[in-house]
Amino acid sequence: MNDRKWIAYFLTFFLLGSVCFRPWDVQAAPGVSAHSAILMDQETGRVLYEKNAEQQMKIASITKIMTAIVAIESGDLQDTVTVSSNAAGTEGSSLYLVAGQKMKLEDLLYGLMLRSGNDSAVAIAEHVGGSLEGFVYLMNQKAEEIGMENTNFDNPHGLDDSDTHLSTSYDMALLMKYSMNNETFQEISSTEVHKAPNPNGDWDYSWHNKNRLLTQLYEYCTGGKTGYTKLAKRTLVTTAEKDGEKLIAVTLNGPDDWNDHISMYEYGFDQFDYYVLAKKGSLSEIKDSYYKGKVYIKHEIKYSIKELEKEKIRIHYQMNKPTEKLQTNPPEIVGRAIVEIDKKELFSVPIYFETSSVKEDDPWWKIWKKLFFITIGVSSNG
């Protein structure tokens, strides 16, 4: 197998295994009222609990998580946005922006996430995407990139103006997992109160976060987004952290969503812990004479498991056969570390040769972007 085929092979395993790992033994969390719900480990992606998690449903204002992350990644937070009459006239939850008003994109994002301003969502979309349609295209492009296979966005706010604006608890957990890797998003999502200047008056805007888990009800909550429309009912995405363990909870059509999330978090923190399967760096387990002392993994391998699962989880290493060509011109990736539980593969991570040209501090998405373009035959110059 040539180098390019090996790269494609490991890229496929990485993309399939790194987004999220489906549970092998999901047990019910107590007292979940929501029609659809999920509890996911934020770091490993393991699903710890789910209920109708793949069912497409209306999602209301948790749509704005996607609006926020697309704007953060695609826009300049210091840009001045001029509010259009279209944005100012958006119905529903509002910052009460007026046509012609100017506001920094950063402040609009705080108003979007804390106050859930629909007018802010449209103003952001028109500025970043050039038009509502252009921004919605970016939203769906990002959804495809993340792996949100059962999601379609038709607007940046989540209002019930389309029958095809739908997602699932599982997809929204994937979105939150992705978004929480962005420091700006983390900061906005975790803010309880934000003040912004008002050019049209002698008072400042002051927006209080609607996420009561963060502000009142749950000491371990680290952020999230609320939602409600008449058709979607109550929707909620939150994050929480306790003793270094980070979790994501999502509920759709949840009449008692605050307690649903607390119940799921308490279940997750009580039943699961991180277990380090392999430390980053050199792999002493590889005994082959060619590879011995020359191969490594870039990040520690860990997984969320219950105490009783420890004896059932294993890791083994699959290496390229050290052919003459490989020995004279070794590729970046020469194998993979495979994690199994009860002999069922959960995921795998690439094993690198010590002469790899990939920098230690390269983020995963850059590494796999490079490998993807190599695989399809596109040079770095396009």
Please identify every residue annotated as catalytic. Answer: 61, 64, 116
Distance CA 83, CA 100 (A): 5
Neighbours of 155 (CB within 10 A): 21
Long-range contacts, stretch 322-330, CB < 8 angstroms, 24+ apart:
322/288, 322/290, 322/291, 327/290, 329/3, 330/355
Q: How many residues does the chain have?
A: 382
- Find the Cα–Cα–Cα–Cα dihedral 267, 147, 350, 247, rounded to 10°: -20
Known binder of ligand: residue 104?
A: no
Helices 64-74 and 118-129: crossing angle, nearest 10°?
Answer: 30
Distance CA 228, CA 231 (A): 8
Distance CA 227, CA 61 (A): 4
Distance CA 131, CA 124 (A): 10
DSSP string, 166-184: BB-HHHHHHHHHHHTTSHH
Distance CA 326, CA 330 (A): 5
DSSP 29: P
Tell me if 147 sits within 8 A of 40, measured CB to CB: no
Residues forming the annotated binding site?
A: 225
Residues flagged as binding site for substrate? 225
